[in-house]
Amino acid sequence: MTEQPTATTTPTTTATPITPAGPRSAPGPLPGFAYAPAPESRDLAEIAPSYGLYIGGEFREAHNGKSFTTLDPSSEEPLSEVAYGGAEDVDAAVRAARDAFPAWAGLPGAERAKYLFRIARIIQERSRELAVLETRDNGKPIRESRDTDLPLVAAHFFYYAGWADKLAHAGFGTDPKPLGVAGQVIPWNFPLLMLAWKVAPALACGNTVVLKPAETTPLSALFFADICRQAGLPAGVVNIVTGDGTTGAHLVAHPGVDKIAFTGSTAVGKEIARTVAGTGKRLTLELGGKGANIVFDDAPLDQAVEGIVGGIFFNQGQVCCAGSRLLVQESVQEELLAALKRRLTTLRVGDPLDKNTDIGAINSAEQLARIASLTEAGEAEGAERWSVPCELPSDGYWFAPTLFTGVSQAHRIAQEEIFGPVLSVLTFRTPEEAVAKANNTPYGLSAGIWTEKGSRILWMADRLRAGVVWANTFNRFDPASPFGGYQESGFGREGGRHGLEAYLDVR
Amino acid sequence: MSGKPQKAQKPQKPQKSQKPPKGSTQDRHDEQQTGRTGQDRPDRPREERTTAVRLNVFRTYKLFIGGAFPRSESGRVYQVTDTAGDWLANAPRASRKDARDAVVAARKAFPRWSGATAYNRGQILYRVAEMLQGRREQFAAEVAAAEGLPPGTAAARVDAAVDRWVWYAGWSDKVAQIAGAANPVAGPYFNLSTPEPTGVVAVLAPPESSLLGLVSVLAPVIATGNTAVVVAAEPAPLPALSLGEVLATSDVPGGVVNVLSGRTAELAGPLAAHQDVNAIDLTGAGPDPALARELEKAAAENLKRVFRPRAEDWTAGQSTDRLLAFLETKTVWHPMGV
Amino acid sequence: MPQTASAFADVAASDAALRRFLHGLPGVDAVGLQARAAALATRSIKTTAKAYAIDLAISMVDLTTLEGADTAGKVRSLCAKGRVPDPADRSTPRVAAVCVYPDMVPVARQALAGTEIKVASVATAFPSGRAALPVRLADTRDAVAAGADEIDMVIDRGAFLSGRYLQVHDEIRAVKAECARPGGEPDAHLKVIFENGELATYDNIRRASWLAMLAGADFIKTSTGKVAVNATLPGTLLMLEAVRDFHAATGTRVGVKPAGGIRTTKDAIRYLVLVNETLGADWLSPDRFRFGASSLLNDLLMQRQKLSSGRYSGPDYVTVD
């Protein structure tokens, strides 16, 4: 080989630089390409100082006059005072939903469909406002609320709108009936998206709903109430009762509710299942997970790294289907971890409203404490911790993207759902071992497979006990695609034709 | 028609008050008190009973666990009578440890059974129907005795059970096509939802329909690849225990179906609470709503899928409800690109 | 010995060895790659960052004319534009190079005398490369002799697609040898054009990247600008990743040049974001990253005027060349 200046032994020398030309030299040697702040405007979402409960088509104060404060978790700045729904309020909402039920269920499906289409369109129209609102109340990066949450919310209403007049063709009998009043309790990680997952199929099937949004993220549901108003939705078809776990418990226990749909923690899911036992109320649960993201040595590595990053750091890892366990084949462990760490250092942590932010704030002090406590347990149990070196804002709830190596199945961080930006790295040697480790959990919500070998993907997918298996991708969602778990990740599916079953009297 | 219970030939029962309380564990000497002998057992052809030149060989009814026929580890039995209260057999009264063993056997059998091709499962289940058909007379007699049905009706129930088994056998390689979906997602992804068996399913068989009801709750569970622990109808377990013998001779791998007889309330509790049971069919707890509620509560501990009791007419047409109830939907995504 | 050779001494020992190596590179999932490029394309580059990016992009432009109708006059006016991109604002950086056909190299050389603007010449029977190797080498030799600082060669896509990797490798090395200048004069730098649009798959682009870098390319370049599919964000991202991995393995820094179809400031900034997030500051320099473009420059200039004046500019306020 000819000696060329391009090929030298020191990593710092290289092809002879082609000197930049110009009347003045090229822009100075900045430390990288410092992106200037690019904040989305807060003013896009006008948040009122206080909100009432939305019952029977009207906003009203809580019966006991109580309220609670919802915060911007990135700054701890109070956003609004929200009415705290008690037993009387839940009762009023259930009665409003019951009153509205016969007329709503009696509407021709095509008419119900049009209401849902209207809602979908209004969400699209107001999506920028709603994205800002969601980011402020939740702490998630505007890039995600804008590019993931809101498009999926609108798409979900669009998808189920189209089912409303086609239920006879859905495989649940020729004249499937709605259940009645659906009580729906949703979490704080995707406030508006979880609302859409619950409300859209319920309404399409002819049910009326009482929805209890999460305590820390009530605002987008209240904005949704306004969207219902704009759409001309009949009063009482959608009722929003804000509050905390006690409010949710009132709703679950209310005898006037025919169906409970819950997304949240497995512990609460079990409590709800016990409450509902013997009542005949239909129940669907979408609960926790400890998803295994399995990387083989023949994986498309750069995309696998992206999939791992998206799998655990999307929404600060506060995702039930997060790929929180990385199972990497030992033969590629070193290379993959080096690439992963290199990639993690490019994550931009900070102001959720900045369009260039990749990692926003943790949703609440309580959640931050849980993440901190589990990561401390990880260190105490001997796993090796590595966190992205980054400066975290002083106000608000923040946690640096973190990964643990040297994790074994017995560690708490390999077993318990952390629900935060923390990845546990385990290794395997054979496909059988990967399956065994992946399935070694009471959960069964999601799994990922990374390999270029098609037959291995199918072999693995067949054996993984998980409701959603992403092969050579991760954390993809679509209204047409059923979502839900095995075992303690819950039961019932949301999305797709399967999602209708939860809101029809199928047996 | 052979195998007809010969009620007319039986000595008149003494007084009702002398009858042992239903379901009590009694001593075999009761037989003499009620004037009953093995001659009257429904599985003996009439000629044998009338000739009386030789003594019949009794069949000892046993549990069916992991492909074997153990007695209850507890050594307990309970008396099974016909609807008139006459002794039919001493059935094993399974314990919670038997239930545990049955779950272990069912779990062990799950990978192979769920991993078998649907075609293969269908073939094996059809074989079960063939074997059932071959034992039609025996089952008709057992059903008649168990449910107090006239012989023709009992035989019709057996026929219906055979037909129902055939119906479900045929579903094994079709259910994925009605319960699965190709999902048109908005992106360059191949997206397919397929149903998969839930796992180990505990089935409380309906007390009122000893064979047809049993088949109606069991066949849909295993047709899709689940394995089952069945608690036979408490008052009428003999057809279920006989079904175990049919399954054992039908290429159904050991452990796919495990049959327990005994007290439903005693066995259902541990099964509902068992952390390695994935689903429970509470049909057999239907007559006792308080029990059904307790079981549903216990089932919440590991979030079992619960099939709640409901009014059933076992002779009515069949539906896919039970087939679809013990399935998980798995959705697999893969990018499409070059 | 160069580290390239020691780290991968046996890779190009035979056709079989080279094939094994190239086919052993990690595969590329097309959808994942495209999704990553699309996500980076949503980066919002504003105010000071935008000003920085615009000037950087201008300084990275290989101002190009590659037409059958090219004349000395056309090349001279292009060179004048490269020297003073915005006559109204002398603080505007100059472009990196002017890129022409070999017969125009003397014209450009003369027009750019006294500046550091490089003369780049396409060669090797550009754009198809469908000429005998001696002809392609003579084409290169001619351009180098005429004073080209940089040679943009095309690979034989036919050979590549039919799996004759060693042939492609050896031809790049042969062209590289033609870039050498005797007597202490700096060698011409070699940019190797893959014509991604013809390689068709991302796996091929990754293999071509490694093949060219192993053969001694100073730059790898996406396209000729003469086929339907030219530079794309995902294709360029993939090449940047290959450069990153090659650097990690050998310590050698290779440059990247997307060419064809990049017309707007927004496009250019998206490419710079790819560079920034894949390779970092070391590659944010005309030494390591170029844009092969012609109309891009005017859009950059109009955006630059907008930033300094606060008003949107128009095509009448930049020069047409």
Domains along chain B? 96-335 (3.40.605.10)
Residue of C152, C156, C218, C267 with catalytic role: C152
DSSP H helices, B20-150, are 30-34, 46-51, 96-115, 118-134, 136-147
CB contact (8 A) between residue C30 and residue B338: yes
Contact (Cβ atoms closer than 8 angstroms) between residue A203 and residue A116: yes
Chains touching chain B through at least 3 C-beta pairs below 8 angstroms are: A, C
Q: What strands, in cross-sheet order, belong to the sheet with C61-64?
A: C255-257, C219-221, C189-193, C150-154, C118-122, C97-100, C61-64, C291-293
Model pLDDT, residue B53? 85
CB contact (8 A) between residue C59 and residue A35: no
- Kindly identify which residue of chain B lies nearest to residue C27, measuring between CA atoms: B338
Known catalytic membership, residue C221: yes
Sign of CA dihedral C130, C134, C137, C138: negative
Nearest to A304 by CA among A323, A288, A284, A285: A323
CB contact (8 A) between residue C284 and residue A33: yes
Three-state SS at A402: strand
User: How far is residue C313's CA from residue C321's CA, in Å, rounded to a whole number?
Assistant: 18
Looking at the complex, does the CB of residue C233 fall below 8 Å from at least one CB of chain A?
Answer: no
Q: Which chain A positions have a beta carbon within 8 Å of B297's beta carbon?
A: 273-274, 277-278
**B41 band by pLDDT with thresholds 50, 70 and 90:** low
- Kindly identify which residue of chain B lies nearest to residue C201, measuring between CA atoms: B338
As given in the structure block, the two tokens for residue B126 are 């059809």
Task: Please tell me what DSSP assigns to residue A400.
Answer: -
User: How far is residue B261's CA from residue B99's CA, in Å, rounded to a whole number?
Assistant: 10
**A13 band by pLDDT with thresholds 50, 70 and 90:** very low
Determine if the peptide bond prior to B150 is cis (ω within 30°): no
Nearest to B155 by CA among B312, B316, B3: B3
Contact (Cβ atoms closer than 8 angstroms) between residue C144 and residue C136: no
As given in the structure block, the two tokens for residue A262 are 């819950």
Task: Please tell me what DSSP assigns to residue A45.
Answer: S
Segment C276-304 mean pLDDT: 96
Looking at the complex, does the CB of residue B189 fall below 8 Å from at least one CB of chain C?
Answer: yes
pLDDT digits (tens, 9 = 90+) for B77-118: 999 999 999 999 999 999 999 999 999 999 999 999 999 999
Contact (Cβ atoms closer than 8 angstroms) between residue A214 and residue A187: yes
Nearest to A495 by CA among A166, A160, A13: A160
Model pLDDT, residue A20? 39
Known catalytic membership, residue C257: yes
Helix axes C47-59, C265-278, angle to 10 degrees: 90
pLDDT above 50 for B249: yes
Three-state SS at C142: helix
Model pLDDT, residue B11? 41
pLDDT digits (tens, 9 = 90+) for C184-200: 899 999 999 999 999 99
CB contact (8 A) between residue B181 and residue A498: yes
* Burial class for C33, CB neighbours closer than 10 Å (0-12, 13-18, 19+): buried
- ipTM of the modeled complex: 0.94
**Per-residue DSSP letters for A226-241?**
HHHHHHTPPTTSEEE-
Give the lowest-confidence range in B30-34, B214-218, B298-302, C55-59: B30-34
User: How far is residue A411's CA from residue A421's CA, in Å, rounded to a whole number?
Assistant: 17
User: How far is residue A192's CA from residue A224's CA, in Å, rounded to a whole number?
Assistant: 8
Q: Which chain B positions have a beta carbon within 8 Å of A274's beta carbon?
A: 297, 300
Round the average pLDDT of chain C to a whole number and report it. 96
**Per-residue DSSP letters for C212-247?**
HHHTT-SEEE---S-SSS---HHHHHHHHHHHHHHH
Segment A469-485 mean pLDDT: 98
CB contact (8 A) between residue C200 and residue B338: yes
How many CB atoms sit inside 10 A of residue B320's CB? 17
Distances, alpha carbon A2 to alpha carbons B284, C1, C10, C211, C273, in Å: 85, 9, 16, 16, 35
Domains along chain C? 3-309 (3.20.20.70)
CB contact (8 A) between residue A273 and residue B332: no
Q: Which chain A positions have a beta carbon within 8 Å of B296's beta carbon?
A: 273, 276-278
A140 CA: distance to closest CA in chain C (Å): 16
Q: Which chain C positions have a beta carbon within 8 Å of A332's beta carbon?
A: none
Give the lowest-confidence range in B6-20, B105-119, B214-228, C136-150: B6-20
Contact (Cβ atoms closer than 8 angstroms) between residue A9 and residue C85: no
Place of tokens 């009814």: B61
B93 CA: distance to closest CA in chain A (Å): 27
Give the lowest-confidence range in A266-280, B6-20, B263-277, B289-303: B6-20
Q: Which chain C positions have a beta carbon within 8 Å of B189's beta carbon?
A: 31
* Bridge partner residues of A82 (DSSP): A51, A68
Three-state SS at B94: coil
CB contact (8 A) between residue C277 and residue A346: yes
pLDDT digits (tens, 9 = 90+) for A372-396: 999 999 999 999 999 999 999 999 9
User: How far is residue A386's CA from residue A384's CA, in Å, rounded to a whole number?
Assistant: 7
Size of interface B-C (CB pairs under 8 A): 16
Task: Please tell me what DSSP assigns to residue A147.
Answer: I
**Which phi and psi (to 5°) does residue B182 adopt?**
-95, 120
B309 CA: distance to closest CA in chain A (Å): 10
As given in the structure block, the two tokens for residue B31 are 């037989």
DSSP H helices, A44-108, are 87-106
Q: Which chain B positions have a beta carbon within 8 Å of A442's beta carbon?
A: 302
Encoded amino acid at B54, one letter: R
User: How far is residue B71's CA from residue B93's CA, in Å, rounded to a whole number?
Assistant: 9
Select from A473, A491, A493 the Cβ nearest to the Cβ of B303: A491
Model pLDDT, residue A3? 38
Contact (Cβ atoms closer than 8 angstroms) between residue A235 and residue A95: no
User: How far is residue B97's CA from residue B94's CA, in Å, rounded to a whole number?
Assistant: 8
User: How far is residue A173's CA from residue B287's CA, in Å, rounded to a whole number?
Assistant: 28
DSSP strands (E only) in C226-303: 255-257, 291-293
Residue A58 is inside which H or E element, if any?
Answer: strand A58-60
Dihedral in degrees, nearest 10, Cα atoms B11, B12, B17, B22: 60
pLDDT above 50 for A9: no
Q: Which chain B positions have a beta carbon within 8 Å of A300's beta carbon?
A: none
Query: Per this entry, what is the length of chain B?
Result: 338
pTM: 0.92
CB contact (8 A) between residue B335 and residue C200: no
Sign of CA dihedral A300, A303, A306, A312: negative
Buried b (16+ CB within 10 A) or exposed e, B215-242: bbbbbbbbbbbbbbbbbbbbbbbbbbbb
User: How far is residue A71's CA from residue B333's CA, in Å, rounded to a whole number?
Assistant: 37
Segment C122-128 mean pLDDT: 97
Model pLDDT, residue C4? 52
Known catalytic membership, residue C176: no
Size of interface A-C (CB pairs under 8 A): 192
* Burial class for C235, CB neighbours closer than 10 Å (0-12, 13-18, 19+): buried
Residue of C156, C203, C221, C299 with catalytic role: C221
Ramachandran class of C142: left when φ > 0, alpha when ψ lies in -120 to 50, beta otherwise? alpha
Size of interface A-B (CB pairs under 8 A): 110
pLDDT digits (tens, 9 = 90+) for B7-37: 444 444 444 444 444 444 443 333 334 434 4
pLDDT digits (tens, 9 = 90+) for B49-78: 555 689 989 899 999 999 999 999 999 999
Residue of C81, C218, C257, C299 with catalytic role: C257
C82 CA: distance to closest CA in chain A (Å): 9
Domains along chain A? 44-287+488-503 (3.40.605.10), 292-478 (3.40.309.10)
Three-state SS at A496: coil
Three-state SS at A81: strand
**Per-residue DSSP letters for B235-255?**
S--HHHHHHHHHHHTTTPPTT
User: How far is residue A314's CA from residue A359's CA, in Å, rounded to a whole number?
Assistant: 8
Residue predicted with more confidence, A481 or A31: A481
B190 CA: distance to closest CA in chain C (Å): 11
